[in-house]
Amino acid sequence: MTDKPSHFIRDEVVEDLRTGRFTGVVTRFPPEPNGYLHIGHAKAICLDFGLAQEFGGRCHLRFDDTNPTKESQEYVDAIMRDVRWLGFDWGEHLYHASDYFERLYRWAEQLIRAGKAYVDDLTADEIRAYRGTLTEAGQASPHRSRSVEDNLDLFRRMRAGEFEDGTKTLRAKIDMAAPNLNLRDPVMYRIRKTTHQRTGDAWRIYPMYDWAHGQSDSIEGVTHSLCTLEYEDHRPLYDWYLDALGIDHPRQIEFARLNLSHTIMSKRKLLTLVEDGIVSGWDDPRMPTLAGLRRRGYTPESIRDFSERIGIAKSDNLVDVALLEHCLREDLNRRALRRMAVLRPLRLVIENYPEGQIEEVAAINNPEDPSAGTRRVPFGRELWIEQDDFRETPPPKYFRLSPGVEVRLRYAYIVKCTGVERDASGQIMTVRCTYDPASRGGDAKGRKVKGTIHWVSARHAVDAEVRLYETLFSVPKPDEADDVRTVLSPSSLEVLTGCKLEPALASAEPEARVQFERVGYFCADWRDHAPGRRLVFNRTVGLRDTWAKIERSGR
């Protein structure tokens, strides 16, 4: 057992092992294959798999595939890929709720025989109306008193496909006056004449999640069933089912789900963004999905670090997305190689540099990692610099290039602006400078040179497309909007073409993560980037760390 920051669930697990309530730890991560996993799921994955690892147990991956109308193999494959990418593996313990369909069906018949379940003809709307409210008891269905024989016959005919969707359900017979509405004769099975992605057309009825959940945990020998807070009110129902069947109880413990600023976590709403073409797909780098975060350049290590830092709590709170970005910057700062890239190029000509001459300057690959060494970067008379690094009329405290001012060219020489060239419309096309040959490496020899800018050799530059991503939503709590489309950020994506990159980036492989010096962290797009043919880089995160400022200010 490792020394990790404790939280209430971990403390409960320690106590359960100490008292002998359980002799080991078995957890499970039970996603529904109706969408891609997102950053909120990452918190649960790290908790489920992390606790099992810490206590020498195991964590199952179990697909809650009980609703074939919304599920697909694409989602199954994506979920397995994302869990593995995050750094976890279930080994031989891959399960599906559909593995247990026959056993769940037999248990349903057992409850019918015990007089604890019945077939109902009420529609979904009628069931809701009969359920009552928090202050008023529910009303019993007129079909609640059917005989055991009739219920068994109808339930078997439901399975055989004799009835149409929505015409009958199987309900537990509990208490229509229960204070907990989940105990007011909940639906256990509904008719769905839909092909299942695993079982095909073998079934015409499918179990509700609340019926399959606890029994699936029990079948697999799960000791600690960790759920988010919305399932706390469902726990008495799970216990009722397990008690009625007389089977083993896992222990369910609830925790607060992740709420992240400028983000939505509803898979239904995320699916709408995909289907409406607001984003390019589930792996759009603006999406909070693990696939989207991976494509944007997030590392699994940074997401695991974030999940540990936010902790496990019993009450909901909103986590600033700046913390997630802070964890990412800390990780990328250690691992990302530095490269020079000019996103909005402006030509610079060094008038007194010999025409045709090319030399190489030494550039540091990563100042945080001495083992990364250095690289050789070509330098010549004509360079590309950023448009923002030159101002003909500089504002106050502008320490970059302007007429008569000296700056360092990173790793190379000190240059001084002597003039500009304009096109027919008067727009500046070229900045002209002279250089000090004795200043190689940036040696100012006692002169006060305040500014340093990056550059790329015009002769050796490689062209690239760079996609600048920001948060998809313009407000911290987009879920509070009646329609999330009204709070989309107009600046969530800017695509730049004709960017100039140093030649070392021509061979970057998809998913290569680099820091463009003075600009930010970027990742070669895993879909569109093709080394040597088409270079496409996604901005992962900028260099400015807002979370560090928030921490220092005590907010």
What does DSSP say about strands 374-380 and 358-364: parallel, antiparallel, or unpaired?
Answer: antiparallel
Judge whether 32 counts as a catalytic residue: yes
Provide the edge-to-edge strand list for the sheet that holds 169-172.
117-120, 169-172, 187-191, 205-207
Judge whether 450 counts as a catalytic residue: no
Please state the φ and ψ torsions of residue 116, each to the nearest 5 degrees: -110, 10
Residues near 153 by beta carbon (within 8 Å), at least 6 away in sequence: none
Judge whether 359 counts as a catalytic residue: no
Residue tagged active-site, from 12, 32, 54, 109: 32
Neighbours of 101 (CB within 10 A): 21
d(CA 433, CA 405): 10
Helix, coil or strand: residue 275: helix
Residue bearing tokens 């448009």: 387
| Residue of 348, 380, 549, 541 whose CA lies nearest to 453 | 348
What one-character-per-residue DSSP string does 329-345 give? HHHHHHHPEEE-EESSE
Q: What angle do CA 539, 545, 549 make, to 5 degrees?
A: 160
d(CA 290, CA 287): 8
d(CA 346, CA 344): 7
Residue tagged active-site, from 70, 198, 251, 257: 257
Residue tagged active-site, from 173, 267, 400, 500: 267
In contact, 456 and 466? CB cutoff 8 Å: no
Active site residues: 32, 257, 267
